[in-house]
Chains A and B, each alone.
Chain A
């Protein structure tokens, strides 16, 4: 009954290949987010969205695209995967209001070789 689910949970990709990470939420939240987690950097915001069919750049958007086809679904796309994009990626949702809680998925571990 997890409210934010990510797929795949783990993936090995080839340098230069295309990777799509998917996220689905059942919280009925307007806002969805993609974060990247690396040792020494904590969590960094890549893209976010507050409405279907629209996405916004976060703090580290270079090399990533995002897609929000519906309120429930939010994808992160790496068109040309690079070694530096090896990381754990987290999707989250919230109602967006200032000071409210983010609900995270379990993460997608991406290894680019």
Chain B
């Protein structure tokens, strides 16, 4: 069946260092890929989405490329800030309606000043 696997957290970094959160997916369909972010005390919110293979999404300095060849959608940021501390979810969608979203387990990022 469809599935998403992402880096198991927590990931702890110092400000100014680079971030990669791995996300791999399995599906026989043609998904839309999402990254959602959840800040402490809030609900998840969309970071960005990419509906087409080989395209890149980006927002707030984060980016990810929808790589159909390796079935990956790794989240990267060149220089993290303390305010980036949050939980990041890789999500597989585009299958009919949004009741069929496949959520990764989330990766907690802690950025120390």
Contact = CB atoms under 8 A, between A and B. Distances in A.
A48 B46 contact: no
Main secondary structure of the interface of B (DSSP, over half): loop
Interface of A: 4, 31, 33, 40-45, 48, 50, 56, 58, 90, 92, 94, 96-107
Contacts of A31: 97-99
Contacts of B97: 31, 50, 96-98
Given A42-B103, A42-B105, A104 B44 contact: yes
A102 B105 contact: no
A99 B100 CA distance: 10
Contacts of A98: 32, 93-98
Contacts of A43: 44, 89, 103, 106
A41 B105 contact: yes
A56 B99 CA distance: 9
A96 B97 CA distance: 5
Contacts of A105: 43
A101 B32 CA distance: 11
A112 to B, nearest CB: 21
Contacts of A102: 36, 44, 46, 98, 101
